Amino acid sequence: MRTGAGHNLSRLILPISMPRKLSILVLIAVIMLTGVFSGCSQASPVARTPLVMFCAGSLILPFGALETAFERQHPEVDVLNECHGSIQVIRHVTELHESIDVVATADHALIPMLMYAVENPDSGLPYASWSIRFATNHLALAYFFNDTAATEIYTDNWYEVISRPGVSLGVADPRFDASGYRAFMALKLAENYYQQPGILDSLIQDQFTTPVNIFEAGSLSLITVPEILETIPQSHIVIRGASIQLIALLQSGDLDYAFEYESVIRQHDLQWVPLPDAINLGSVDYDDQYQQVQVNLDFQRFASVNPFFRGEQIGYGITIPSNAPHPELAQQFIAFLLGPEGQQIMAEYYQPLLDPLTCDFPDLVPSLLQAYCHPDG
């Protein structure tokens, strides 16, 4: 049998009189030389440049398709995509100091809040200085098609169904994932829409070891999430670090309902209850109503930032960290995302891009990307 270099080591013949130890040494030398010449006869693999992206969990499937398409056009690039809750994505840059080329979050407001305000200790520069708001979504209530309550839940009574004894409700952890604090917002907005005070409080009351506090300040509802958010034993609330982690629980029947983005629900062939536009945080026409709810994160970790989230239309944000190892490649990827092929891929995954795209500091946006966005406001 031939080796890759065309040599047959099994047919090597050594002199019979050669001492055993010397025979072994000669054989080893021949094998090593064979490997050397074999390597010289084959082309060395071309090294690919890694492009590291961290994105919100709800982007895992469309960004996976973008990765494949981009690499097809740029075979010299190896896109490495990792997904987490949006706050966790930014922590990998600002707290864990990882070298990341592209950051994409499910809440565009997180980028200025947690990256503009924090300096890189190595450079003294903010971790980011611009962002593009590129996509939106709708919050909805997801369930698996085998759910026995599926025939009983509608747009007008969903808040009653998820409050019934024995019904479990999944929510992403608002400390790490934007859909988590948006779920709290939606439940509070439902109180005004259905004229049913106490929907949020009745669902979460006594469900956490440290309570989530709700205050009313005139027309503004303030929801404060504690630093430690753990459910009590036998709680009907199920918390996970990212909303995408709730999908498997729905599919296995271990969870009855979960707040998810509509794009994610459709990507995974789940059933869902569409929420009214006044609740789903998906329509700019209702921004005045959305802004009546605010979620505060009561974290010592964020003491210098004071993160709070005012209700508004869902907007996804993308940027390139100031310490990105490959900023030029990152610009090319974002241009691909915002261009015709990227738009088509995003639409195929039920998440079309905003029109127009907006950016907060257009003069700071890289020149390659400036043509894609308009000044915010």
- In three-state secondary structure terms, 287 is helix
pLDDT of residue 346: 98
- Amino acid identity, position 204: I
Angle among Cα 79, 85, 86 to the nearest 5 degrees reads 80
Q: What is the pLDDT of residues 243-273, one digit of tens each?
A: 999 999 999 999 999 999 999 999 999 999 9
Angle at 338 between CA 333 and CA 343, to 5 degrees: 115
Domain 139-296 sits in CATH 3.40.190.10:
yes
Render pLDDT for 289-301 as a digit per residue (tens, 0 to 9).
Answer: 999 999 999 876 6
pLDDT of residue 16: 37
CATH of domain 49-136+315-375: 3.40.190.10
- Which residue type sits at 145? F
Question: How many residues belong to the chain?
Answer: 377
pLDDT at 209 over 90: yes
Asked if pLDDT for residue 6 goes beyond 60, the answer is no
Predicted local confidence at residue 302, as pLDDT: 55
Question: For the segment 56-80, what is each residue's pLDDT rounded down to a tens digit?
Answer: 999 999 999 999 999 999 999 999 9
Structure confidence at residue 146 (pLDDT): 58
Which helix H or strand E contains 160, and what residues bound it?
A: helix 158-161
Q: Residue 280's pLDDT band (boundaries 50, 70, 90)?
A: very high
Q: Give the tokens for residue 85.
A: 């809750």
Of the two residues 147 and 336, the one the predictor is more confident about is 336
Query: Would the pLDDT of 104 be above 60?
Result: yes
pLDDT in tens, 129-144: 999 999 999 999 999 9
What confidence score (pLDDT) does residue 225 get? Answer: 95
Tens of pLDDT along 20-46?
A: 444 444 444 444 444 444 444 455 567
pLDDT given at position 219: 92
**Is residue 250 within a helix (H) or strand (E), and if so which, with residue range?**
helix 247-252
Burial, 240: exposed, middle or buried (Cβ in 10 Å; 0-12, 13-18, 19+)?
buried
Q: Work out the percent of the chain whose per-residue pLDDT is above 90.
A: 78
pTM: 0.85
Written as six digits, the tokens of 43 are 């082309």
In 87-206, the DSSP E strands lie at 102-105, 132-135, 139-143, 169-172
pLDDT of residue 357: 94
* Among 11-15, 86-90, 152-156, the least confident range: 11-15
pLDDT tens digit sequence for 321-377:
999 999 999 999 999 999 999 999 999 999 999 999 999 999 999 999 999 988 876
Strand partners, 135: 316, 353
The whole-number pLDDT of residue 250 equals 95
Q: Kindly state the average pLDDT of the residues 53-58.
A: 97
